[in-house]
Chain A
Amino acid sequence: MWFDPDLTIIWAAIIAFAIFAYVVMDGFDLGIGILFPFFDVGEERDQAMNSIAPVWDGNETWLVLGGGGLLAAFPIAYGIILPATYPLMIAMLLGLVFRGVAFEFRWRDPSHRPLWDAAFTMGSLVATLAQGITLGALLQGIEVSNDAYAGGWLDWLSPFSLLTGVSLIIGYALLGATWLIWKTEGRAQEHAFRLSFRFGIAMLVAVAAVSAATPFLHYQYWRSWFALPGVFLTAQVPLLVLISAFLFFRCLRRRAERAPFLLALMLFLLGFAGLAISMYPYVVPDQITIWDAAAPHDSQLFMLVGTAVIIPVIIAYTVWAYWVFRGKVGTHGYH
């Protein structure tokens, strides 16, 4: 063996971190796009848009790191998963195009603002749906032969993948609504509280549905979750979900401003942990493990040196950028 298993695990963890960072950070701004039609034209929409305008670009960069990191550290997985989800990837990219330009265009062209607001929502919805379906497609399995994708171009489509697609829309909407509780005030905030409550309930239903369906997809998932003695560890995940959900609704009732967003993040983190339990050590279920897909030791090591230094720096100045734009957004941008 010319690769070092330890580095492979480290890289799996780094990429999992990048994907999680992407999901929660772009999640709340895609969520705001999804919720946009619920907001009143004018002050509510402007506040919502202004709250994410300075940070969305940085949030989306984690998506590029997830893709680029996968290519670099697990090229075989990259070469299998992307062709298997071809139409989804293209739809996601086009959705992100509409979403991304809407930030600038809606302010540049007030007479066509409804058009760009619609583009913002449609782009966010399509991108989120595509990401959610991709997750489902990956979980349900991908046909592989000789380290390459061997299925058709619509294999990803199934009731389960549609379920994960809709679930992710609900999840991002929840993140967006709770983010707005934090960043807005007055009527917009009241609205965000109401939306958070509804999407909180929807999210629990979605989590329950996906969790119930997943163990039946592959025997390996069943074993990962229910085999003794691991079950004592894995059982903590649903337990923590219940506790977080309980706290979430309590904080909403008490009109806490930050806790709902943080608890929504907690729910995502638990969902992500659940995925990790299901998938590990496979990157393509039942077919390709992280070691099968790994790039050579040299490539992983070369990147790791830089990553170890740079990721903390990135986190530092990302925190700084959020700090600069801290506080309530107000109607005239941040104040």
Chain B
Amino acid sequence: MFDGLDPVILARAQFAFTVSFHFIFPSFSIGLASYLAVLEGLWLRTGKQVYLDLFQYWLKIFAIAFGMGVVSGIVMSYEFGTNWSVFSTKAGPVIGPLMAYEVLTAFFLEAGFLGVMLFGRSKVGPRLHYVATCMVALGTLISATWIISVNSWMQTPTGFAINAKGQFVPAGSWLTIIFNPSFPFRLVHTVIASYLTTSLVVGAVGAWHLLRKREDLHARKMFSMAMWMAAIVAPIQIFAGDMHGLNTLEHQTPKVLAMEGHYEASPKGAPLILFGFPSNAEGRVNYKVEVPKLSSLILRHDLNAPLPGLKDYPRDRWPPVPIVFWSFRIMVGLGFAMLGLGLVSLLARVRKRLYEWTLLHRFAIVMGPTGFVAVIAGWVTTEVGRQPYTVYGHLLTAQSHSPLAAPAVAASLLAFVLVYFFVFGAGVFYIFRLMARTPVVGESEPTHDPARAAGITPAPAIDAESGGRG
């Protein structure tokens, strides 16, 4: 069984699947950790119960999302070795220390203070508890910084030499490696994406409860906070994305050409292809709808600026264009929809109908999950766009993999798919169940309450109670 399959394709599928699934959770928990820190800070400053209630409400959801992020993240740190041992051996001296720093400065910080954040309010008092919350939030941001640095180095490697064993080794300053050319752009774009994703989720939950009960103070507060965030951050994100794109054009030109669908060079200004069906085999985009010269305007800020085409590069160095082309359009399209939501919410504020305008609430609910879709689409764009390399321009994916046995990789891929859909499906279901109940005054800590241990209370009563006590 499985012997006829290409183990490298299987290993890539396995990595893509596990990393995509994994990133859903951090992209939410990075933003949510900061939101929790803001809520608790506001509560400490103003003393208003609503902030504490919202804090406790979202903390229960955070506990589940964070746990799933941890367990799916540990998988990643070992998959580098199981599936990509040649890459690990060769790039380890450069990326290994950065990942070790991620563990040392971020993971331990998060894990050390998470227990106190979740279960320790009554033990350490409000101020020290707030410190714990801030440490967890800080940990998520530090973690993002290191891992984005690693990823960016793979996209735009700098500051290295290659030794006799064929390993990438640091040459010169570590700052050159950490602050490689695409790192600042990617970091900003990723962290803002997390904030935006979280605000869309919070906004959707607030909107859902507003539709059920318009006067609900908790729902109003979270909806309003989320809509401010979306209105402010969505335009910033579009701007940051544009800057990131210009950076990519400079350092990874074929990736941008794939995103744009430019097979042919355009010496007199490139058109913006809105839609179409790219084909690497034919080397062109079929059935395309295009706006003349707009691509040059966006990428070069000049209508007539020339752009190269993929055909200026060797055929075996092209990324799989259709995937990159479409995932990019999904991301950008959703980004503009988010901007639309932010603008409509501002309009509603001006008309003083933020809590009454049900159409806006429905729009916000529809937009709730789009942050995740956009984040994954963005990562697909940048990672598939990096192909055929793992370390851009220096190490081919085809030369990075472990001595793989097809049966082992196929069986484990299957196991990952089954386990992830089952386990994380259950987790997402529990999160939805927590979101579906209205926040109440005096929300409890996510304390494990053995008063409702199995076998004592009949099941329906448990459900009702867990609604109240969480």
Contact = CB atoms under 8 A, between A and B. Distances in A.
Interface stretch (B64-72, B214-222, B299-307, B383-391): B64-72
A135 B114 CA distance: 31
A321 B136 CA distance: 13
Contact of B450 (A46, A68, A334): A46
B77 A67 contact: yes
Contacts of B78: 67, 82, 89, 92-93
Contact of A61 (B90, B92, B101, B103): B103
B123 interface: yes
B412 A87 contact: yes
B111 A57 contact: yes
B169 A75 contact: no
Contact of A149 (B403, B412, B416): B403
B63 A306 contact: no
A68 B448 contact: no
A49 B128 CA distance: 25
A73 B112 contact: no
Nearest to B94: A299
B89 A317 contact: no
**Which bucket holds chain B's interface residue count?**
35 or more
A89 B81 contact: yes
A67 B80 CA distance: 10
B16 interface: no
A90 B80 CA distance: 12
Interface in A46-100: 46, 49-50, 53-55, 57-58, 60-61, 63-65, 67-69, 71-73, 75-76, 78-83, 86-87, 89-90, 92-94, 96-98, 100
B313 interface: no
A298 interface: yes
Nearest to B169: A296
B20 interface: no
Q: Could you tell me the dominant secondary structure of chain A's interface residues? A: helix
**Which bucket holds chain A's interface residue count?**
35 or more
B405 interface: yes
B452 A332 contact: no
Contact of B70 (A54, A60, A310): A60
A72 B82 CA distance: 15
8 contacts: A58-B112, A60-B70, A71-B95, A75-B96, A82-B85, A104-B64, A306-B100, A317-B109
Interface of B: 63-64, 67-68, 70-75, 77-78, 80-82, 85-86, 88-97, 99-105, 107-116, 118-120, 123-124, 163, 165, 167, 169-170, 174, 402-405, 407-409, 411-412, 415-416, 419-420, 423, 426-427, 430, 433-434, 447-456, 459, 462-463, 466
